[in-house]
Amino acid sequence: MRARLWGRKPGRAVGLRALPALLAVLALAGGGPAGPYTTVAAVPGAAGGSGSGPAVVLPKVDCASLAGQDLSETPGAAAVVGSATATTSPGGWAACEVKGIAAPQIQFDVLLPTRTWRQRYLQTGCGAFCGSVDFFADAADGCVPLDRGDFVVATNNEGHVGVSGFDATFGADPQLRVDFGYRADHVVAVVAKRLIALYYGQGPRYSYFDGCSQGGHQGLTEAQRYPHDFDGIVAGAPASLLTSLIVWSAGWHATANTDAQGRPILTAAKLPALHAAVLRECDARDGLADGQIDDPRACSFDPRSLRCPPGTDTATCLTDAQVDAVRKLYDGPRDERGRRMYPGGEPVGSEANWARWVTPTATGAPAVTEGNATSALKYLAYPAPRPSMTLRDLHYDSATFYEIYQRAGIYDASDPDLSAFRAAGGKLLLWHGWADQAISPYGTIAYYHALTERMGGVNATQRFARLFMLPGVAHCGDGQGPDAFDAITPTLAWVEQGVAPDRLVATKRQDDAVVRTRPVYPYPIVARYDGSGSSDDAANFTPAPPPVRYEDDIAWLGSFRSGYEQVCGWQDGRWTCTPAPPPS
């Protein structure tokens, strides 16, 4: 659901004994476990609704006066404005567009409404390895405040220019690694807020961040390292375990599906039959045969059930080599002793989304994972670039894992201690698709488990951080389940009015026509069909405890811990990295 700004486009976290308490909290917010839920956007006077929110503030200076502004004395974020021009957004609201660079080469773009600003600031994230400046708003389907121009909106290129979203050659420069890993978004937040103060005569009253994939990683990095930058953060499908994701998970996707001659084992032609077989086996296990799987952990699908008869190989069956490849993809990467190198593999039910990501394209271009992992190995995984390295040089063993894991201090956003963010009044809305083919949803569940453990249990955590899992949704949108929803408006209500989101309503469209709506509740609560009316109508579902609770505390070679973060920079002509001070 990576939409342009103004258009559509497995452990022990919460035991069953805690679920009644969670349901009680949700009931206070929006109805009983068997009763109706009220979406935040529908609550009279809710933040972000029509005519609500902070008052409009008009500019104090002309747009052109921002051109050439010297912001070189901005602490830790020396910058210069290159241009400031009047424009009209595709949504129809007038704006002053400011473009500039923060040292050394963080390109930023800021849109400042000229007549509609309601004292809100929104910074948006990017995808993959970034490298370009483009406005995207994730999880913003039908967001009225965004459409009408309530926000100053900013984005950036994460500190480098890339040939494509999967180009990591910037990693040849250690400073650009740091800007990509943790620095760029903080710098842009500081610069953008200074521009806001110059333009309107005051800073933003509320600041928000929204992103998915790498954008989700950016959001979590901000909450963990810079807890005062944003009041509300929406982080979707976060690439939070970035070091292990871009090497071990992505690399495994490619190597598990490559034979000794370098040819793909499983092709896109096999995916429809594989996904259909999974649905036959797993779909109805959640009590409703609807073409989507509510929780893939409820089904242990064996791809051998599709094994081709001896001597045959058609699109409706799998060869022995393909059966083995599918099993490896479901399982995820493991080391020489069978230990996980990432907290999960492809979820059952995601098969229809593997084309192009796991299997090569029809034109013969490599799968995304191959290019992604190869580029990461060359320029990000080791202290110095190794431009001749290929996936054939990667050894799936613990020694190599820990050697590469040393870069987690720069790239990862896996610290479960959000005490400073919570103390600052911050609110975190996490979301992930259950059929995500690019970033395993199990990693996000494992992080959320660690978060609840560190922050005092589920009830204490739910006061400032909630996770929403979307059945059938692929990476940042698409897939078979309802994938379009607005998480920004509920976050405004949470931050500005203290109304926590008790549910989201997701929509599935075909040719711009709504074909299904479904409610999504804070994890681990699930949506249960009440037996009356259409199962394609969200009104006919109620929140319920999951039929089974699974182990969210997934054992793997890495960990969710505090104190691993590093800060790096040039000192006396030498590049040095030291432990990052804890956020205050």
Residues with a known catalytic role: 213, 436, 475
How is 474-512 classified by DSSP, letter by letter? -TTS-BSS--B-B-HHHHHHHHHH------EEEEEEETT
Paired tokens of 343:
């907290």
CB 222 within 8 A of CB 119: no
Q: Which of 371, 344, 15, 26 is nearest to 169 (CA)?
A: 371
Sign of the C-alpha dihedral computed for residues 282, 346, 462 and 146 taken in this order: negative
Q: How far apart are CA 349 and CA 426, in angstroms?
A: 34
- Per the listing, tokens 């708003």 go with 137
Length of the chain in terms of residues written: 584
CB 451 within 8 A of CB 415: no
Distance CA 89, CA 95 (A): 7
Whether the CA torsion 356, 358, 362, 364 is positive or negative: it is positive
Q: Taking Cα atoms as reference points, which of 539, 22, 526, 16 lies closest to residue 296?
A: 526
Locate 210 and state its tokens.
């929204």
The whole-angstrom separation of Cα 540 and Cα 584 is: 45
Answer whether 102's CB lies under 8 Å from 79's CB: yes
Phi/psi at 362 (nearest 5 deg)?
-65, -25
